[in-house]
């Protein structure tokens, strides 16, 4: 597949350029009245619109409280209140919450990678009775909104005496159906001969999963890890339901304390917000390589 | 003894598709056996059952006297080369070669020694640090063979290993395979649909069609004495010309071609004539023969292929072979192919008188297709 693609690419520059509709005429060099594609005129404002909330958050985090309450909103404060950041950090147990969130997120991401891989491999490759039905019902649960299962899940977590502990946030999320679905679909695209060759070579199913399937699935695993990280790190509703002890708060829950019925420190809230976003930005930068590779190697298999 | 025995082996896939139908044959120790047949004839399924990749629906497969039906692939001590090589893309050539040994917990020194040995045998020394994606087709093929051979398996299975290579490389690798087998003498089962591979490589060949064994024998025996009309049409390149004929009182007639053959029961027969069993003669030649209306002439250097029509009825046997008949058959004209020596160069549109050599005429029962001898 690759060679064909490459050849097509190599051929392109030398191929004669023919004006559409008029065979034989050589295309005149296109007059460029813009240093970029005209489409960018449309796309740039849209991209800018996407950025506005993000910029607004950063700007608000650098304003005084009075500036944040001004109407119309001040988008460019004259002086930057950089000390909003240390204030946000010290006025609440930010470090503890950050640590809590990190523990929960890392545990959930790792356990999802492990359990979803195992389940997905089973669905993708192992023949067993009732597989089709089991997979169908598993996927059907994706259609059920979280709000519907929140009370039963709460009762189970309560029975397990996990309320007000980080366990309440970890245990119900050890694996999720989306991850199983994503990996199952990806595993199915890997050539079965690789696994058959490994079986003949003497590898067990688990060994095949670890030494053959998972290394070839890094793009899918990276995608799952990032999505799961995002969901867990940003989760607000479930921690709100199960955690009401400040020492077990996650960041998203803790940030709420800047904004209540008696306090409204919007500038500190936004400073906390920016700090809570940093790990995700770092993760994206680190995992970007895999996304790009995941897309770029689509044609390289085989 | 590491012989392989198929004892009335049957494979039925879900939906009642019978891929292999009561296959019985045995592969002797150190033998190179070819399973050949058109696509969908069950040859790959038969091979995969030996490897343990497919469950056996009925019958037994024994390797070295041990029944393999319920033994998992990794305990069979069998190595297999896949059509698309199935090299692990994320591992270097060295890691690919050593994979099976690592699964057996062989010591690191021993793995190093055996990988180096096999790399030397197959000329892979300079490629050990590369990944499969950085290798050419022929190199990948060699790595795939090396990965199978490094384990020193009891039985070596090859599933169309040369079909992804270009024609030149295929010839080269074919010779290399033969050399390797002569050197190592491992019991080998080789699946192919290419009858040139079948003829050149095998000690014996087993011709399969629709899951059934059609004939088992040495390549020359199968070529000289095909057991039925399917084998006759499948083995040989270009394929045998098959005409419809009538036998009566020891005399066989197929259009212009008339000859005596004793012991043939009266009735409809299929007359098979190898393209290379015909030679040009003068118009007044008394022996059996026919006249060909030349349509297409293909000079190949060492031979000339002539495609044309004879006044006879085509037997109507359709066998899936790579070189299908060039010309369409009509009601009273049958398309035939003739292989001539390069000094004969008929022109299209001319008529060619050909004598049929007695030994290259084969007769088959029109009903069952079985050879009449």
pLDDT tens per residue across span A20-70: 444 445 555 666 677 888 888 999 999 999 999 989 999 999 999 889 888
Of A201, A215, A302, the CB nearest to B99: A201
For residue A7, the model assigns a pLDDT of 37
For residue B332, the model assigns a pLDDT of 77
Model pTM? 0.80
Q: 3-state SS of A269-291?
A: HHHHHHHHHHHHHHHHHHHHHHH
Contact A194 B74 (CB under 8 A): no
pLDDT over threshold 50, residue A98: yes
Using the Cβ of A132 and the Cβ atoms of chain B, whether some distance falls under 8 Å is answered with: no
Question: Tokens 């919450």 map to which residue?
Answer: A97
CA distance B358 to B278: 10
Percentage of residues of chain A with pLDDT beyond 90:
61
DSSP for B9-73 reads: EEEEETTTEEEEEEEEEEE-TT-EEEEE-STTSSHHHHHHHHHTSS--SEEEEEETTEE-TTS-G
Alpha helices for chain A (secondary structure H): 2-14, 39-60, 65-68, 84-91, 94-125, 131-140, 146-159, 167-170, 177-189, 192-200, 205-208, 214-216, 218-234, 237-242, 251-255, 266-296
DSSP A201: T
Closest-CA residue in chain B for A198? Answer: B100
Using the Cβ of A302 and the Cβ atoms of chain B, whether some distance falls under 8 Å is answered with: yes
pLDDT tens per residue across span B194-251: 888 999 999 999 999 999 999 999 999 999 999 999 999 898 888 899 999 999 988 9
Cα–Cα nearest to B51, from B64, B61, B38: B61
Contact A199 B53 (CB under 8 A): yes
Of B51, B83, B90, the CB nearest to A200: B51
**A204, two tokens:** 């067990």
How close A118 gets to chain B, by Cα (Å)?
20
pLDDT tens per residue across span B53-82: 999 999 999 999 999 999 999 999 999 999
Contact A198 B99 (CB under 8 A): yes
Residue B186 CB: number of other CB atoms within 10 A? 20
For residue B92, the model assigns a pLDDT of 94
The SS3 call for residue B122 is coil
CA distance A224 to A171: 18
For residue A12, the model assigns a pLDDT of 39
**Rounded mean pLDDT, A148-154:** 95
Domains of chain A: 92-261 (1.10.3720.10)
DSSP for A113-156 reads: HHHHHHHHHHHHH---TTHHHHHHHHHHGGGS-HHHHHHHHHHH
Cβ(B116)–Cβ(B94) under 8 Å? no
Contact A200 B86 (CB under 8 A): no
Using the Cβ of A131 and the Cβ atoms of chain B, whether some distance falls under 8 Å is answered with: no
Q: Which of chain A's residues have a Cβ under 8 Å away from the Cβ of B80?
A: 196-197, 200
């Amino acid at each position: 597949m690759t060679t064909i693609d490459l050849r097509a690419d190599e051929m392109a520059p030398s191929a004669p350029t023919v004006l559409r509709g008029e065979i034989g005429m050589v295309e005149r060099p296109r007059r460029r009245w813009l240093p970029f594609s005209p489409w960018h005129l449309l796309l740039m404002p849209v991209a800018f619109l996407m950025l506005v909330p993000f910029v607004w958050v950063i700007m608000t985090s650098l304003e005084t409280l009075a500036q944040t309450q001004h109407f119309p909103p001040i988008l460019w404060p004259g002086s930057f209140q950089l000390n909003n950041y240390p204030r946000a950090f010290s006025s609440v147990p930010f470090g503890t919450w950050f640590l809590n969130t990190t523990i929960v997120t890392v545990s959930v991401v790792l356990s999802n990678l492990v359990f979803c891989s195992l389940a997905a491999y089973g669905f993708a490759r192992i023949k067993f009775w009732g597989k089709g039905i089991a997979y169908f019902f598993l996927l059907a649960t994706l259609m059920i909104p979280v709000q519907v299962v929140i009370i039963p899940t709460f009762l189970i977590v309560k029975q397990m005496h996990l309320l007000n502990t980080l366990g309440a946030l970890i245990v119900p999320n050890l694996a999720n159906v989306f991850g199983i679905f994503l990996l199952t679909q990806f595993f199915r695209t890997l050539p079965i001969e690789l696994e058959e060759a490994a079986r003949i070579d003497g590898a067990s199913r688990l060994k095949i999963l670890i030494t053959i399937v998972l290394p070839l699935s890094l793009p899918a695993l990276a995608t799952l890890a990032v999505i799961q990280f995002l969901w867990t790190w940003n989760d607000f509703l479930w921690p709100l339901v199960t955690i009401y002890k400040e020492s077990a708060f996650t960041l998203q829950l803790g940030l709420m304390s800047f904004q209540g019925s008696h306090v409204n420190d919007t500038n500190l809230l936004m400073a906390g917000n920016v700090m809570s976003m940093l790990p995700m930005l770092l993760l994206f930068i680190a995992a970007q390589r895999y996304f790009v590779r995941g897309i770029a190697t689509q044609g390289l298999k085989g | 003894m590491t012989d392989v025995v198929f004892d009335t082996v049957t494979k039925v896939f879900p939906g009642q598709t019978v891929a292999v139908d009561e296959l019985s044959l045995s592969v002797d120790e150190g033998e190179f056996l070819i399973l050949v047949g058109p696509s969908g004839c069950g040859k790959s399924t038969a091979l995969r059952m030996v490897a343990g990749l497919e469950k056996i629906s009925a019958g037994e497969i024994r390797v070295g006297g041990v029944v393999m039906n319920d033994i998992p692939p990794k305990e069979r001590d069998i190595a297999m080369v896949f059509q698309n090589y199935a090299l692990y893309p994320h591992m270097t050539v060295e890691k690919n070669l050593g994979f099976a040994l690592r699964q057996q917990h062989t010591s690191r020194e021993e793995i190093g020694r055996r990988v180096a040995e096999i790399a030397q045998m197959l000329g892979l020394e300079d490629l050990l640090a590369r990944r499969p994606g950085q290798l050419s087709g022929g190199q990948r093929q060699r790595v795939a063979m090396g990965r199978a051979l490094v384990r020193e398996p009891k039985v070596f299975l090859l599933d169309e290993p040369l079909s992804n290579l270009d024609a030149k490389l295929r010839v080269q690798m074919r010779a290399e395979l033969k050399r390797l087998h002569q050197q190592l003498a491992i019991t080998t089962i080789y699946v192919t649909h290419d009858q040139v591979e079948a003829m050149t490589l095998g000690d014996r060949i087993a011709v399969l069609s629709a899951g059934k064994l059609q004939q088992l024998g040495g390549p020359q025996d199968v070529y000289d004495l095909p057991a039925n009309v399917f084998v006759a049409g499948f083995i040989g390149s270009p394929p045998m010309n098959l005409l419809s004929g009538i036998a009566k009182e020891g005399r066989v007639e197929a259009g212009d071609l008339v000859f005596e053959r004793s012991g043939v029961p009266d009735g409809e027969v299929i007359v098979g004539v190898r393209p290379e069993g015909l030679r040009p003669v003068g118009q007044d030649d008394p022996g059996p023969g026919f006249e060909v209306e030349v349509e297409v002439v293909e000079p190949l250097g060492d031979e000339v292929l002539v495609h044309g029509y004879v006044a006879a009825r085509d037997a109507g046997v359709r066998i899936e072979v790579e070189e299908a008949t060039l010309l369409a058959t009509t009601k009273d004209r049958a398309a035939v192919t003739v292989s001539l020596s390069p000094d004969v160069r008929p022109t299209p549109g001319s008529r060619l008188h050909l004598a049929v050599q007695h030994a290259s005429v084969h007769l088959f029962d029109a009903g069952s297709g079985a050879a009449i001898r």
